[in-house]
Each structure stands twice: as C-alpha cells, then as structure tokens.
Amino acid sequence: VVEQADVVIIGAGAAGLFCAAQAGQLGLNVLLVDNGKKPGRKILMSGGGRCNFTNMYADHTAYLSHNPHFCKSALARYTQWDFIELVSRHGVAYHEKTLGQLFCDNSAEDMVNLLVKECEQGNVDLRMRNEVLSVESNEQGFMIKLSAGNIQAKSLVIASGGLSMPGLGATPFGYKIAEQFGINVLPTRAGLVPVTLHKPLLEVLQTLSGVAVPVSVTAENGTNFKESLLFTHRGLSGPAILQISSYWQPGESITVNLLPNLDLDAFLNEERAEHPNQSLKNTLARHLPKRLVESLQTLNKVPDVTLKQLSAPQQQQLADTLQQWQIQPNGTEGYRTAEVTLGGVDTKALSSKTMESVQVPGLYFIGEVVDVTGWLGGYNFQWAWSSAWACAQALAKT
Ligand code: FAD
C-alpha cells in the first residue's frame, strides 16, 4: 500500500517543523519525517539551552552565501518581527541578551513546544525514527521509501540541515539528494567554530584556558567583529572567534585588537608621567588580565621594562602587538563543535521566492542545507523560519 501526502518534509529541525506547521495550517496534508528520536534536537541545545531564536537586527548583511542577495526576499517576507509576534502569541517569555539577540527566559524546550503545537494546529503527521531509504521522482511527484513504508507526495521539502554536530544527528542527506537530482552543491566547511593554534603559540596560550577578553577581531577580507575572545586548551573561542571563523580560510591570519576601546599611547603617556617607575606589566594589567600580560611577555610581545625605560619605538611596537596582533590559526575544531555549515545547495539552483529547485519542480530546500549561513546571534534560526515560510506559501499555491 502506498500512502499519499501533499508534501513530505524531511528533517524535523527548525526549518522542517516551521514549514510543516505553516503548510499544514494552509490546508495541506503534510508528513514530516526525521531519523532521530525527538524533533528539534539542535534547538534544544541551542543558545546554551535557551535558544537564541532570532535577532532584532536580522537582515541580509548578516549572512554569508556565494550569492549574498539570495536571502533578501525570504527575510523580508517573513521577518524577525513576524516570528517574535508568534513567540508572544504562545506566551513564551524572552529577553534580549546583547546585540539584538533574543533568548527564551526559561528553556529552549519552550521553542520546540511552540513548533510542535503549531504542527498540531496544522494536523501535521510527524514521524520520528524513520530512515529515508530512497527518493525517486515520477509523474505524480515523488515516491519516498521510508523504513516504515512508501509515500507518494506531490512535493518534497529537504530540511535535513548541515554537517555540524554529527552527535546531534547531522547527516549529508540533503546534499546527496541534491546531487541525485543534478543540483549543484557548493563545497562545505565548518562555520561558527573555535580555531586551533600551532604548538609553540598554543603551549603559551593554553595556560590562559578560561580567560575571556573583549576584543575586536578582523579577517583578511576586512570583516570585523567586536565581541569577546576566550582562550581554551585547544586554541581560541568565544563569540568574536566563532564569528570570524566563518570568514577565515586555511593559511590566513586573523588580527586581534586586545584593547579595542583604549587610546594606548595616551594611556601610557599619562601613566608614565605619574608613575615612571611602574612596570609595564602592571600598567597593562589595569586593562588586561594579568595572566594574559604575562603570556604576552613570554611571547616577547611585551618588553620587561618600567614605563620610563619604555622607548618610543618599543611603545610603537607594543601598540602594534596589542592592537594588531596577527595570529595564524592552525585550523578549526571542525564539524564536531561547529554551530553551522558554510556552503551547501547552490542558491543558483533555487528560486529565492519559493526555495523550489529551478530544474526539479516540486523539490524544495530550506534552512541550513542551503548555501546561506548567518552570523552567531539568532540569525541562523531566522533563516530557518524565513526560508521555511517562503516554501510553505509556495506549497500552498501548487
Ligand atoms: P536542523 O535543525 O539541523 O534539523 C535537521 C533535521 O534533519 C534534524 O532533526 C535531523 O535529525 C534531520 N535529519 C538529518 N539527516 C536526516 C536523514 N538522513 N533522514 C531523516 N532526517 C534527517 N542558531 C541560532 O540562530 N541561534 C542559536 O542559539 C544557535 N545555537 C546553536 C547551538 C548549537 C550547539 C548548534 C549545533 C547550532 C546552533 N545554531 C543556532 C544553529 C542552528 O541550530 C541551525 O542553523 C538550525 O538548527 C538549522 O535548522 P535546520 O532545520 O536547517 O537544520
């Protein structure tokens, strides 16, 4: 017996749940399939368990893609304010943490419950623990063979996400389906991920594991973020590093300004006038963690002198070091700890209005599987909601 559905959606993550709910509420008969035990596993883990579900400043400038214009239409048609309205309607309490980032007050579970309730309102048939064995197109649409049986659907939506955190069920399924249908997949790499360091530098900085400092960090292409940097036992992490990792390519350097809010020359000149015999180390420790200053001394970045001994060229060199510290990462921690996957299904192959494949009518790709990747701060979920919404509207018109 072959079951029938208007739409089969593969992947009950952020994008799949939201698309299923919307399409169901628009009157479609929707089957949502996932190979995991529970829907929205990444949502539950997100934002440190509180889900940073959107960002008040979301617009296309916060996304990386080979076509930076692709995400504009969907983001403009279903905005952060639309999603915030939905969150409020469900009575989910939230707050702005920083930089427009909205988090649940209580738990990310509130977000999964919201999405599951929305699916119930759309009579979505949610089937967890189902493996997709094969997908074939035919005259009526698509035949989807699941471990639990065969489904014939008019439309097929791929919402299976990227490769980051295989421990949370990430698989290359979406890319394989794209390839099966001759749709281009751009090379993928880990994004929003800690970077690792070469041994000599790591050995010194490792001792700072757990120390965080507000910095400004710049990639070779000029992209810059002002957030905090965290030293770890493997290298560097913290929001500033996660952000810049998406813009970093192997072999490139990043430039770290450890004192982004300080006029270092003016500060040193004032201090020298008042305390000429004070050590440079103690002086810098007024603006930086002492252990960090000591490590910078070990790396010969800070001379072991008093302020009156500090020569003009030394002072210039110090400013260069502390405010333009060039670090060449060894690599990243990879998909194991990455929050997102850069690259993926080529947006050239999709309609930016509907997320439908240009070559294969009825086949849609939404969420992270598409080559659209947001900054840290709720932007990735907003892409999931916006792309899912655009797709659901299109499905309802077919
Ligand atoms: P996913 O949410 O990954 O969902 C894909 C679904 O497809 C999963 O349920 C998976 O089980 C299923 N699936 C995969 N392969 C198959 C298959 N072969 N068969 C059947 N089902 C399959 N973004 C933010 O905006 N804010 C945050 O606070 C935030 N925090 C994060 C924290 C962590 C630890 C991680 C890893 C990511 C975080 N992100 C955050 C990124 C965000 O989680 C993703 O961008 C978002 O979940 C992508 O949604 P999606 O629906 O496209 O994919």
> Taking residues 374-382, what's their average pLDDT?
98
Residues 6+ apart with CB under 8 A from 56: 80, 96, 100, 102
Q: Please indicate whether residue 191, judged by its CB atom, sits closer than 6 Å to ligand 1.
A: no
231-273 pLDDT, tens digit per residue, is: 999 999 999 999 999 999 999 999 999 999 999 999 999 999 9
H/E stretch holding 283 reads: helix 280-284
Instruction: State the pLDDT at residue 45.
Output: 96
Which residue's alpha carbon is nearest to atom 36 within ligand 1?
339
Q: How far apart are CA 393 and CA 363, in angstroms?
A: 14
Name the closest-CA residue to atom 3, ligand 1. 161
CA distance 221 to 238: 20
Whole-number Å distance, alpha carbon 328 to ligand 1 midpoint, is: 30
ipTM score assigned to the predicted complex: 0.99
Written as six digits, the tokens of 170 are: 């990430």
pLDDT in tens, 175-188: 999 999 999 999 99
Q: How far apart are CA 351 and CA 58, in angstroms?
A: 21
| Cα 192 to averaged position of ligand 1 atoms, centre (Å) | 13
Q: Phi-psi bin for 281: left (phi > 0), alpha (psi -120 to 50), beta?
A: alpha
Distance (angstroms) between ligand 1 centre and the Cα of 51 equals: 12
pLDDT band of 192, cuts 50, 70, 90:
very high
Q: What's the rounded mean pLDDT across residues 136-157?
A: 97
Q: Mean pLDDT for the chain?
A: 97
3-state secondary structure of 72: helix
pLDDT at 172: 97
Separation CA 87–CA 233 (nearest Å): 38
Given the DSSP bridges, would you call strands 52-55 and 30-33 parallel, antiparallel or unpaired? unpaired
Q: Is 51 in the pocket of ligand 1 (CB under 6 A)?
A: yes
Q: Tell me the three state secondary structure of residue 296.
A: helix
Neighbours of 353 (CB within 10 A): 13
Ligand 1 centroid to residue 282 C-alpha, Å:
46
**Which token pair is 26?**
């628009």
**Ligand 1 centroid distance, CA of 368 (Å):** 7
| Residue located via tokens 């970093």 | 248
Structural domains for the chain:
2-189+340-397 (3.50.50.60), 195-332 (2.40.30.10)
Pairing of strands 101-104, 94-96: antiparallel
Quick one: pLDDT at residue 212?
98
Give per-residue pLDDT as tens, 9-67. Answer: 999 999 999 999 999 999 999 999 999 999 999 999 999 999 999 999 999 999 999 99
User: How many residues comprise the chain?
Assistant: 398
Cβ neighbours, 10 Å, residue 158? 31
Index of the ligand 1 atom closest to the CA of residue 380 = 25
- Residue 385 above 90 pLDDT? yes
Kindly give, in sequence order, each residue whose CB lies less than 8 Å from that of residue 349, ignoring residues fewer than 6 positions away: 178, 183, 184, 357, 358, 359
Average pLDDT over residues 189-195: 98
Q: Is the CB of 169 under 6 A from ligand 1?
A: yes
Regarding the beta carbon of 156 and ligand 1, being less than 6 Å apart is answered: no
Taking only the tens place, the pLDDT of each residue in 152-169 is: 999 999 999 999 999 888
HEC string for 162-219 = CCCCHHHCCCCHHHHHHHHCCCCEEEEEEECCCEECCHHHHHHHHHHCCCEEEEEEEE
CA of 15 relative to ligand 1 center, distance in Å: 8
Segment 302-322 mean pLDDT: 94
Residue of 160, 193, 337 best suited for mutating to test ligand 1, as the one with most atoms within 8 Å of CB: 160
Report the b/e string of 214-247 with b at 16+ CB within 10 A.
Answer: bbbbbbeeebbbbbebbbbebbbbbbbbbbbbbb
Tell me if 385 sits within 8 A of 360, measured CB to CB: no
What pLDDT is attached to residue 307? 97
Percentage of the residues of the chain whose pLDDT score is greater than 90: 97
Burial of 189 (0-12, 13-18, 19+ CB in 10 A): buried
Helix axes of 14-25 and 109-121: crossing angle, nearest 10 degrees? 30
Distance CA 167, CA 337 (A): 9
Nearest CA-CA partner of 288 in 259, 265, 264 = 259
Exposed e or buried b for every residue in 63-87, given b needs 16+ CB within 10 A?
bbbeeeebbebbbeebbbeebeebb
Two structure tokens written together for 127:
């089937």
| 117 vs 25: CA distance, rounded Å | 11
The finding on whether 35 has its CB within 6 A of some atom of ligand 1 is yes
Among 96, 119, 339, 382, which is best to mutate for testing ligand 1, by the most ligand atoms less than 8 A from CB?
Answer: 339
> Average pLDDT in the 198-202 region?
96
- Decide: 378 in ligand 1 pocket, CB within 6 A: yes
Confidence band for 322, pLDDT divided at 50, 70 and 90: very high
Site to probe by mutation for ligand 1, drawn from 44, 46, 50 as the one with most ligand atoms within 8 Å of Cβ, is 46
pLDDT at 194: 98
Task: List b or e across 6-43, with b for residues whose CB sees 16 or more CB atoms inside 10 angstroms.
Answer: bbbbbbbbbbbbbbbbbbbbeebbbbbbbbbeebbbbb
Q: CA torsion 269→270→276→280, rounded to 10°?
A: -70
Residue 79 near ligand 1, beta carbon < 6 Å: no
- Residue 101 CB less than 6 A away from ligand 1: no
The answer to whether residue 398 scores a pLDDT higher than 90 is no
Cα–ligand 1 centroid distance for 64 (angstroms): 17
Q: Tell me the pLDDT tens digit for each residue of 82-118.
A: 999 999 999 999 999 999 999 999 999 999 999 999 9
Q: What is the pLDDT of residue 1?
A: 77
Task: Say if ligand 1 is within 6 A of residue 370 CB.
Answer: no
